[in-house]
Amino acid sequence: MKLFISIMMMVMMFATLSVNMGCSSAEANLPPLTEKSIYDFSMKSIDGKDVKMEEYKGKVLLLVNVASQCGYTPQYEGLQKVYTKYQDKGFVVLGFPANNFGGQEPGSNEEIKTFCSTKYNVTFPIFSKISVKGSDKHPFYRFLTEKATNPDSAAEVAWNFNKFLVDKNGKVVAKYDSGVAPESAELTSAIEKVLQ
């Protein structure tokens, strides 16, 4: 009986640790990440071309998981405006389509690209569709959301259009929920501060 209680206590401690670290039990079984920086990753563009994240060294980044059929989809317009306003100062928005929430990004990469360019005139980089949550979470988003690799602002992606602000050295300095509009004073003042 004592052995059973000890085992149950260990299981509960592990479950609590997993929750506190921002990972589900499925994610807890994933192998540890070997990347030390966001610049160690290579991602696929919306056209399927390899893009090394190190190409963005020295730039301030806003990483956003996007979707075409979400109540927050009109934020594409705000993201484009913020990108246009600050791009000459070394700022880039990077969009990562994901179908993790409510099936709100069901399209193919080609459909997503067409939607972004025709509906919202998006000119900032959009990448191939990935998973940003769950057991198939892309390693890049694991890096952004896990305490081990991002101790200061690690947090699970809660919905479409969550935003990670990254400084010129590749450090995540803040995470913003979907409800924080790209053009809000909260976000633009943070962008301006990191651009200094």
Give the residue-averaged pLDDT of 133-142: 95
In the CATH scheme, what is the code of domain 33-195? 3.40.30.10
Burial 29-68 (b: 16+ CB within 10 A, else e): eeeeeeeeebebbebeebeeeebebeebeebbbbbbbbbb
Which pTM value belongs to this model? 0.85
pLDDT in tens, 106-128: 999 999 999 999 999 999 999 99
Number of Cα atoms under 13 Å in the Cβ half of residue 170 = 15
Residue 136: partners with Cβ closer than 8 Å, 6 or more residues away = none
pLDDT in tens, 43-100: 999 999 999 999 999 999 999 999 999 999 999 999 999 999 999 999 999 999 999 9
Of the candidates 30, 15, 120, the residue with the CA atom closest to the CA atom of residue 73: 120
Catalytic residues: 70
